[in-house]
C-alpha cells in the first residue's frame, strides 16, 4: 500500500524587504507543522524578500540569503521535516550566455530559486524558475533551457515548479516523463495578476485560473500538487494554498486556505490515489510507449548534449 504523508502548506502576509521578520514567521509555522506531524513543509514564492524589485535593497538582499538557506537546513534536521523554503532570490555573476535575458544592467543576474531540503538537513535538489511572469522579466533571469529535474526523496519522487510555470503543461510533462509523483509549486499569485479588462469580465478570474489549472494538471499527469501561495488583504492576495490530487481535487477537511489566513495547513497526502489514477487513465504508460505521438519532444530533451564541466 502506498504511504500517506502529512504535508503542510504555509502562508502569511510577507513583508517586502524584511527577511528577518519573514524568516521568523517561516520558522514559527514550520515548527508548528512539525509538531502536527508534517513530514513536508512548503513556503510561498518570494517568502524572504517579498516583491519590491524597484528598490535597490531587493538587489542587495539577493547577496545576503545564504545564511537563511543554511538555517533552514539546520531546522529541517532539528525537526526531522523536509522543507521547500518557497523561493530564494540569488545573485550570480552574469554569464555571456544569459546576459541577453536579463535587463537589470547590473553586474549579477538574479535567479528565483526553489530548494528541496531533506529531513536530515541535506539539499537534495534545486530549481530555478524557467517561465518568468511578464512584470518580472526586467528583474529576473530564466533558467532557460536547463532541464527539469526530479528528486528522489523519502516521501516520493519530487518535481519543483514556481508560480507561472503552472501555465505551461510542457513543464509538467518533462517532470512526469522523469517519474515525478509530487509537484511542489511555491507561488506569489495575486488577484491583480489579471488586468483591468479581465477583472471586469470576472473579478475572480485568477482564483478560477488557479482552481481549474491545478485540478486539470493533477488529472492529466496522474500526480499530486503541493501549492503554497502568499496571504494578505483579499483585495489583492488570494491565499488558496492547498494540496491537490486526481479524483478528489483539494484534500483535507478545509480544502484550501483563505486569502487573509496565516499559518500552516496540514493535510494527509495519500499516494495510493496516484496509483489509482494511473491505473484508470494510463497517462504515464502512454508516455512511455514506443508509439507515443509526442515522444519527439522528450527524445529531443534526452538527447540534448551534456554540458562540459
- Inside any domain, residue 220: yes
**Tally of domains within the chain:** 1
> pTM score, two decimals?
0.93
pLDDT at 96: 59
Q: H-helix or E-strand containing 54?
A: none
What are the tens digits of pLDDT across the range 275-309? Answer: 999 999 999 999 998 878 876 665 555 555 554 44
For residue 237, give the CATH number of its domain: 3.60.110.10
Burial of 246 (0-12, 13-18, 19+ CB in 10 A): buried
- Max Cα-Cα span within the chain: 54
Could you tell me if residue 64 is inside a domain?
yes
- Asked if residue 27 belongs to a domain, the reply is yes
Handedness of CA 62, 139, 261, 7 (dihedral sign): negative
Tell me, yes or no, whether 288 lies in a domain: no
- Strands (DSSP E) contained in the chain are 4-11, 40-42, 82-84, 88-93, 108-117, 123-128, 150-153, 156-160, 182-186, 224-228, 242-245, 249-250, 263-270
Helix (H/G/I), strand (E/B), else coil: 67: helix
User: Cell 527524445, residue?
Assistant: 299
Q: How does the average pLDDT of the chain come out, rounded?
A: 93
Enclosing domain of residue 39: 4-279
147-196 pLDDT, tens digit each: 999 999 999 999 999 999 999 999 999 999 999 999 999 999 999 999 99
**Per-residue model confidence as pLDDT tens digits over 94-118:** 865 555 455 455 789 999 999 999 9
94-99: list long-range contacts, CB under 8 Å, 24+ apart. 98/141, 98/144
Residue 299 domain-assigned (yes or no): no
Asked if the structure places residue 93 within a domain, the reply is yes
Name the nearest CA neighbour of 15 among 208, 249, 248, 262: 262
**194-227 confidence digits (pLDDT tens):** 999 999 999 999 999 999 999 999 999 999 999 9
Chain centroid offset of residue 20 CA: 22
All residues at 6 or more sequence positions from 210 whose CB lies less than 8 Å from its CB, including other chains:
166, 189, 227, 229, 238, 240
Amino acid at each position: 500500500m502506498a504511504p500517506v504523508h502529512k504535508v503542510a502548506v504555509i502562508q502569511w502576509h510577507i513583508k517586502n524587504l524584511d527577511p528577518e521578520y519573514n524568516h521568523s514567521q517561516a520558522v514559527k509555522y514550520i515548527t508548528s507543522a512539525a509538531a502536527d506531524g508534517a513530514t513536508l513543509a512548503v513556503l510561498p514564492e518570494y517568502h524572504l524578500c517579498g516583491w519590491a524589485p524597484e528598490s535597490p535593497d531587493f538587489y542587495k538582499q539577493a547577496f545576503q540569503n545564504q545564511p537563511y538557506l543554511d538555517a533552514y537546513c539546520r531546522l529541517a534536521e532539528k525537526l526531522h521535516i523536509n522543507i521547500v523554503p518557497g523561493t530564494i532570490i540569488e545573485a550570480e555573476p552574469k554569464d555571456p550566455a544569459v546576459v541577453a535575458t536579463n535587463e537589470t544592467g547590473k553586474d549579477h543576474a538574479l535567479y528565483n530559486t526553489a530548494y528541496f531540503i531533506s529531513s536530515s538537513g541535506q539539499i537534495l535538489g534545486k530549481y530555478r524558475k524557467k517561465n518568468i511572469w511578464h512584470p518580472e522579466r526586467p528583474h529576473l533571469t530564466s533558467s532557460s533551457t536547463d532541464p527539469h529535474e526530479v528528486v528522489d526523496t523519502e516521501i516520493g519522487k519530487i518535481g519543483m515548479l514556481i508560480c507561472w510555470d503552472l501555465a505551461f503543461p510542457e513543464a509538467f510533462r518533462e517532470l512526469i516523463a522523469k517519474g515525478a509523483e509530487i509537484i511542489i509549486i511555491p507561488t506569489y499569485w495575486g488577484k491583480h495578476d489579471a488586468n483591468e479588462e479581465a477583472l471586469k469580465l470576472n473579478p475572480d478570474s485568477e482564483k478560477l485560473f488557479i482552481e481549474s489549472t491545478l485540478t486539470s494538471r493533477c488529472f492529466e499527469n496522474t500526480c499530486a500538487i503541493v501549492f503554497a501561495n502568499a496571504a494578505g488583504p483579499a483585495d489583492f492576495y488570494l491565499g488558496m494554498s492547498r494540496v491537490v490530487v486526481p479524483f478528489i481535487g483539494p484534500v483535507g477537511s478545509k480544502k484550501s486556505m483563505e486569502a487573509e489566513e496565516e499559518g500552516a495547513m496540514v493535510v494527509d497526502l495519500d499516494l495510493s490515489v496516484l496509483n489509482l489514477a494511473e491505473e484508470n487513465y494510463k497517462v504515464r504508460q502512454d508516455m512511455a510507449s514506443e508509439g507515443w505521438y509526442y515522444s519527439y519532444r522528450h527524445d529531443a530533451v534526452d538527447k540534448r548534449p551534456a554540458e562540459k564541466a
